Amino acid sequence: MTSVLKLAVIGGDGTGPEVTAEGMKVLRAVAKKEGFSVEATELDLGGERYLKTGEILPDSELEALRGFHSILLGAIGHPDVAPGILERGLLLKLRFVFDQYINLRPVKLFPGVETPLKNKTTEDIDFVVIRENTEDMYGGVGGFMHKGTPLEVATQTAIYTRAGCERWLRWSFEFTRKRNKRKQLTLVGKTNVLTYGHDLIWRTFQDVAKEYPDITTDYNHVDACCMWMIKNPEYYDVIATTNMFGDIITDLAGILQGGMGVAAGGNINPEPGGVSMFEPMGGSAPKYTGKNIINPIATISAVAMLLENAGYQSAADRVTKAIMHVTGTKMKSQSAGKMGYSTTEIGDIVCDSL
């Protein structure tokens, strides 16, 4: 924690800049109440700039980002840019270059928020997914042979390293201990089919577990996890899972907590001096862009996570409490256009509730 929180803001595409504006409004308001200052630098990155100049993430900007403790990201994805270009060139590049090996995705049903699960309450839906964020099929290892011919071969290799598994799993055990709820860590994988890669993960999990006798360890295959998450979400405390499976199950989990308007995540490099990045889980929502109707709650939640990660715990708690007050007593719905308020009004009432 420092008396000045220095962060970079990448609004990005579509509704991204609208939601980061509300996140920053709340961040500035809470900083004022808690007595620290915020120095924010906005970076113009995303689909529009790429279409105009061909630049995605120039080295000079990447270097400049090293000087910040945190990044707040809005959304990446543009309807006129082919899939993969911005995702790989910007979002995944930032995750990899800054070695943000933890993707932390809390799944908490806030008061007043509707879940599609019948008879499940805020008590039942309260767990955390810790997704490994640098390995697996995301590593970009693979290629084509005989591309475009009937003999074409494509490979996309999943990479798992002992060191990569160890650092992510050790962090997951530490997190489960600090969270201090049920102290149960469920590893989610597919050891019955991925008999090399997930065997390495399983052995690493058992080895690291020996250092944490106070944590109950548990294992689910990923398909069974999807079933349990719907049937008995209260079963989960903390889940550790791989990059690809984590991507998939956190969309499922995100819907249980009220959808993309609410779900937030952090791409964390926990090492000293590490640059971490926080974002709403939803995309750029082109059809809602510029209408002032998108839900900024997920981004404001991402701001709370950013604050906690940067050491401003009481500011983080204040923001989370304000969010719960607003979802619990003010908002009609978490869906874009149905909140009972505009995007900017939600930002204002969260500030008023701090």
Give me the residues that bind Mn ion (CB under 5 A), please.
Answer: 247
Q: How far is the CB of 67 from ligand IPM (least distance, A)?
A: 24
Note the Cα 265 to chain centre separation in Å. 2
Among Mn ion, ligand IPM, none, residue 87 binds (CB under 5-8 Å by kind):
ligand IPM
44, 87, 211, 271: which one binds ligand IPM (CB under 6 A): 87
Among Mn ion, ligand IPM, none, residue 91 binds (CB under 5-8 Å by kind):
ligand IPM
Instruction: Tell me, by CB under 6 A, how many residues bind ligand IPM.
Output: 4
Comparing CB distances to ligand IPM, the nearer of 44 and 87 is 87
29, 57, 91, 239: which one binds ligand IPM (CB under 6 A): 91
Comparing CB distances to ligand IPM, the nearer of 7 and 91 is 91
Among Mn ion, ligand IPM, none, residue 348 binds (CB under 5-8 Å by kind):
none
Indicate the pairing of strand 102-108 with strand 264-268: antiparallel
Encoded tokens for 156: 């996309």
**Cα–Cα distance list, 247 to 21, 241, 244 (Å):** 26, 9, 5
Find out whether 215 and 247 touch, Cβ atoms under 8 Å: no
Residues in the chain: 354
Q: How far is the CB of 128 from Mn ion (least distance, A)?
A: 16
Q: How far is the CB of 222 from ligand IPM (least distance, A)?
A: 15
Encoded tokens for 105: 């995705």
∠ CA 209-215-220, nearest 5°, is 75
The partner residues of 40 in beta bridges, in order of sequence, read 7
Comparing CB distances to Mn ion, the nearer of 247 and 348 is 247
345 binds ligand IPM (CB under 6 A): no
126, 247, 345, 348: which one binds ligand IPM (CB under 6 A): 247
Comparing CB distances to ligand IPM, the nearer of 233 and 265 is 265
293 binds ligand IPM (CB under 6 A): no
- DSSP states of 74-140: EE---TTS-TTHHIIIIIIHHHHHTT--EEEEEEE--TT---SSTT--TTTSEEEEEEE-SSBGGG-
∠ CA 92-254-107, nearest 5°, is 100
Q: What is the contact surface with ligand IPM in residues (CB under 6 A)?
A: 87, 91-92, 247
